[in-house]
Amino acid sequence: MENLLRALRGTAGISGMILFIILGATTFSQILSFSGASNGIVELITSQGLSPLALIAGMMLILIFLGIFVDQVSMMLITLPIFMPLVQKLGVDPVWFGVMFLICMQMGLLLPPHGLLLMTMKGVSPPQVSMAHIFQAVTPYLIMSIVMLLLVLFVPSVALWLPQKLS
């Protein structure tokens, strides 16, 4: 019973922190949208003269970095108000971008040292399992995620064939 209460207290504390992060991200997203800052940021980025591939790669790196520290919902609330207008302006297929977006979010959550999924795995594992064990266990998933991201990036039909068949 004592372990259950301790787990419930821990869950409540973590859930509260995540809700505050989501609240902050939602507020940030709304401020960007209502103030028109999203459009200004998109114009500023596109005026730099970078290729669409460079911009997509930059967005993916931002997502991977954010995934180390922030949960998925907060990442979407922070980045999508800027990324989606940019994707539309570049003429990029939103389904293709969405698949890469999801792969990068998942990769960020698995990256050491602070990936949220790593902390979750440590929290539910027995005490004899160290973070080094968890890092080793997650390495094949990270390698496969990188391979899949590169495959989808350079061969878009991998991500688009099923939606094309269904439409």
User: pLDDT tens digits for 137-155?
Assistant: 999 999 999 999 999 999 9
pLDDT on residue 119: 84
- C-alpha separations of 144 from 39, 72, 150, 165 in Å: 35, 20, 10, 25
Distance CA 121, CA 143 (A): 18
21: tokens are: 């992060």
User: pLDDT tens digits for 60-105?
Assistant: 999 999 888 888 888 888 888 889 889 999 999 999 999 999 999 9
Domain positions in the chain are: 2-166
Mean of per-residue pLDDT scores for the chain? 87
Distance CA 51, CA 85 (A): 16
pLDDT on residue 42: 85
Q: How far apart are the first and last CA of the chain?
A: 53
What is the phi-psi region of residue 36: left when phi exceeds 0, alpha when psi lies from -120 to 50, beta otherwise? Answer: left
Q: Are 149 and 60 in contact (CB under 8 A)?
A: yes
* Higher-scoring residue by pLDDT: 120, 97: 97
What is the phi-psi region of residue 49: left when phi exceeds 0, alpha when psi lies from -120 to 50, beta otherwise? Answer: left
pLDDT on residue 5: 87
